[in-house]
């Protein structure tokens, strides 16, 4: 990677990039001198520290204090890689712990600008245990409902990545940065370097967005605005219904065309375009980008007369999908990406957003495909973060069901769905659900808010897809339509049964 990229900025340059003219006030912890040559008496350690200080102008590998990004006050900490590789020693731990404590005392979000090689060898286990101090400080900040945002620079490896970086609520990365637990000198010689890059970590669902340096200030400002801290917020309003122009369902939209297969065969292919929405300018930009241009407000669409008609309308490829609803609902979208377990699901969009009036909302939206375990894990992550920060949640339900292929089973489909149910059930913030298309079985219900679910006129919700219900009942395919009628899955049926509160549109 180029040596002159902004990822190689000094600690203070990284801070200035974000605070600009708003300024930054540095803080320092109380003095706590080390014994000669450090806690291990490592010969030459004092001299190495003196050389690092002369080279960088810093006394340690971390600078911290209070600043303003955009219009939002926060506590910033920034690593100086030029000081012994940005490594963590005992005095680094003093500064990190003090930064978290400053955020806690002032009730401010913490913004970490990370560039580190990990623990400092010359301090041995004393250095390594600083990771426990950081973890404890982070937990205290979480318990106080304060957000933590990390910007990982080049390089971010070792314990610094595994605590300050990957432990943050939101992880942004600069392009081309080396990011990974294993540093370049300790990984296998044949290891794929892409896996240790910002882009590789994004692909694996470990980084939420790769953001160019010239977009970083705007993106971080949006995140600070969205995550707060906030006073008590109202529930997310129910989205208005959208229409793609009406007309009869398109060819192939009938019930027999689609079963809840794990591969998504026959499903709406374009619905998963959010997979890369968190890279580059998509990391914090107006949500209209990438929206479905034909979707419009639906003035008064008729209700389906039969169950089979409801299913056909929900499967109509012209029906607006999640991207269109989110573009209409949010002025700014800030995607969260991945399940933090090495996987992503392009068919589930989640993150935080800002409405036109400035109200923050967390969103989880299915895109019409079978939802994979990674999608459910990402959904649970988003809901729990929103709950901890006191931000209302909107879920958009649209799936024929959870992915049911062998790979999904090996990836823990049942456990992931159970965890999503639990996240919704435990949420203290209001959760609002709109079923915008297919509501297929437990894979859809896992994202539905009990007592606050609404449905559109071109949606259905069923115990299982009618084709599969007919198969379970040992009925021939010719009786699928009649089975759909019997299941009472139409929007008006759902209101009558008390499953849905209202029909939108």
Average of per-residue pLDDT across 130-140: 97
pLDDT at 92: 97
Confidence of residue 251 (pLDDT cuts 50, 70, 90): very low
For range 486-505, the mean pLDDT:
95
pLDDT digits (tens, 9 = 90+) for 10-68: 999 999 999 987 789 999 999 999 999 999 999 999 999 999 999 999 999 999 999 99
pLDDT at 252 over 70: no
Q: What is the DSSP letter of 239?
A: P
Residue 392 near residue 231 (C-beta atoms within 8 A)? no
Token look-up 């090689």 returns: 117
User: What single string gives the DSSP state of each residue in 106-157?
Assistant: HT--EEEEEEE--B-GGGHHHHHTHHHHHHHHHHHHHHTT--EEEEEEEEEE
Residue-wise DSSP of 249-271: PPTT-SGGG----TT-TTS-GGG
Reduced to 3 states (helix: H, G, I; strand: E, B; else coil), residue 13 is helix
User: Is residue 3 pLDDT above 70, yes or no?
Assistant: no
Closest to 447 in 3D by CA, of 439, 458, 455: 439
150 or 467, which is more confident: 150
* Cα–Cα dist 38/315, whole Å: 67
User: How many other CB atoms are found less than 10 A from the CB of residue 471?
Assistant: 16
364, 367, 369, 374 alpha-carbon torsion, rounded to 10°: -30
Tell me the pLDDT tens digit for each residue of 357-383: 999 999 999 999 999 999 999 999 999
Taking each helix axis from N to C end, the angle separating 11-19 and 213-227, rounded to the nearest 10 degrees, works out to: 60
| Residues 173 and 210 sit within 8 Å (Cβ to Cβ) | yes
Mean pLDDT, all residues of the chain: 88
DSSP class of 376: H
pLDDT at res. 488:
95
Q: Output the pTM of the full model.
A: 0.88
| Residues 235 and 86: beta-carbon distance below 8 Å | no
Confidence of residue 297 (pLDDT cuts 50, 70, 90): low
pLDDT at residue 275, rounded to an integer: 33
What was the pLDDT predicted at 298? 55
DSSP state, 402?
B
* Placement of tokens 């219904």 in the chain: 241
pLDDT tens by residue, 420-457: 999 999 999 999 999 999 999 999 999 999 999 999 99
Q: What pLDDT is stored for residue 261 in this prediction? A: 35
Q: Band the pLDDT of 259: cuts 50, 70, 90.
A: very low
ω into 497 cis (within 30 of 0): no
Local confidence band at 310 (pLDDT 50, 70, 90 cut-offs): very high
Q: Render pLDDT for 83-107 as a digit per residue (tens, 0 to 9).
A: 999 999 999 999 999 999 999 999 9
Rg (Cα) of the chain, in Å, rounded? Answer: 25
**β 460-462/502-504 pair status:** unpaired
């Amino acid at each position: 990677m180029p040596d002159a990229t902004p990822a190689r900025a000094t600690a203070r340059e990284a801070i200035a990039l974000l605070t600009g003219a708003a300024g930054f006030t540095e803080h320092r912890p109380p003095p706590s001198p080390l014994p000669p040559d450090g806690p291990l008496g490592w010969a030459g350690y004092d001299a190495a520290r003196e050389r690092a200080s002369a080279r960088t102008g810093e006394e340690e590998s971390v600078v911290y204090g209070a600043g303003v990004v955009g219009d939002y006050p926060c506590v910033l900490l920034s690593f100086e890689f030029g000081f012994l590789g940005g490594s963590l020693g005992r005095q680094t731990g003093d500064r990190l712990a003090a930064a978290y404590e400053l955020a806690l005392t002032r009730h401010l979000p913490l913004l970490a600008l990370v560039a580190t090689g990990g623990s400092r060898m010359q301090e041995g286990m004393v250095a390594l245990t600083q990771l426990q101090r950081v973890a404890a400080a982070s937990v205290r900040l979480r318990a106080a409902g304060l957000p933590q945002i990390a910007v990982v620079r080049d390089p971010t490896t070792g314990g610094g990545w595994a605590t300050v970086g990957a432990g943050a609520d939101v992880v942004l990365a600069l392009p081309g940065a080396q990011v990974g637990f294993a540093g370049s000198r300790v990984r296998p010689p044949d290891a794929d370097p892409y896996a240790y890059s910002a882009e590789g970590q994004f692909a694996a669902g470990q980084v939420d967005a790769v953001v160019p340096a010239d977009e970083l200030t705007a993106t971080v400002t949006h995140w600070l605005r969205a995550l707060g801290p906030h006073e008590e917020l109202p529930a997310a309003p129910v989205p208005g219904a959208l229409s793609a122009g009406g007309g009869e369902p398109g060819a192939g939209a009938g019930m027999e065309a689609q079963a809840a297969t794990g591969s998504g065969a026959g499903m709406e292919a374009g619905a998963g375009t959010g997979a890369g929405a968190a890279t580059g300018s998509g990391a914090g930009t107006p949500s209209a980008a990438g929206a479905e241009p034909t979707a419009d407000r639906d003035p008064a669409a008729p209700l389906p007369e039969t169950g089979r008609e409801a299913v056909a309308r929900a499967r109509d490829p012209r029906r607006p999908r999640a991207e269109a609803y989110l573009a209409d609902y949010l002025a700014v979208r800030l995607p969260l990406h991945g399940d933090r377990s090495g996987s992503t699901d392009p068919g589930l969009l989640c993150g935080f957003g800002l409405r036109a009036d400035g109200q923050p909302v967390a969103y989880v939206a299915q895109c019409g495909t079978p939802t994979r375990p990674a999608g459910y894990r990402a959904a649970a992550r988003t809901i729990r973060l929103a709950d901890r920060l006191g931000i209302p949640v909107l879920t958009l339900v649209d799936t024929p069901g959870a992915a049911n292929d062998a790979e999904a089973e090996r990836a823990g489909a049942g456990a992931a769905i159970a965890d999503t149910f639990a996240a919704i059930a435990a949420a203290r913030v209001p959760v609002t659900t709109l079923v915008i298309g297919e509501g297929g079985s437990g894979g859809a219900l896992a994202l539905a808010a009990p007592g606050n679910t609404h449905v559109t006129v071109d949606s259905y919700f069923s115990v299982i897809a009618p084709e599969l219900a007919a198969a379970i009942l040992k009925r021939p395919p010719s009786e699928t339509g009649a089975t759909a009628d019997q299941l009472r899955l139409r929007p008006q049926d759902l209101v009558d049964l008390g499953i849905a509160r209202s029909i939108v549109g």
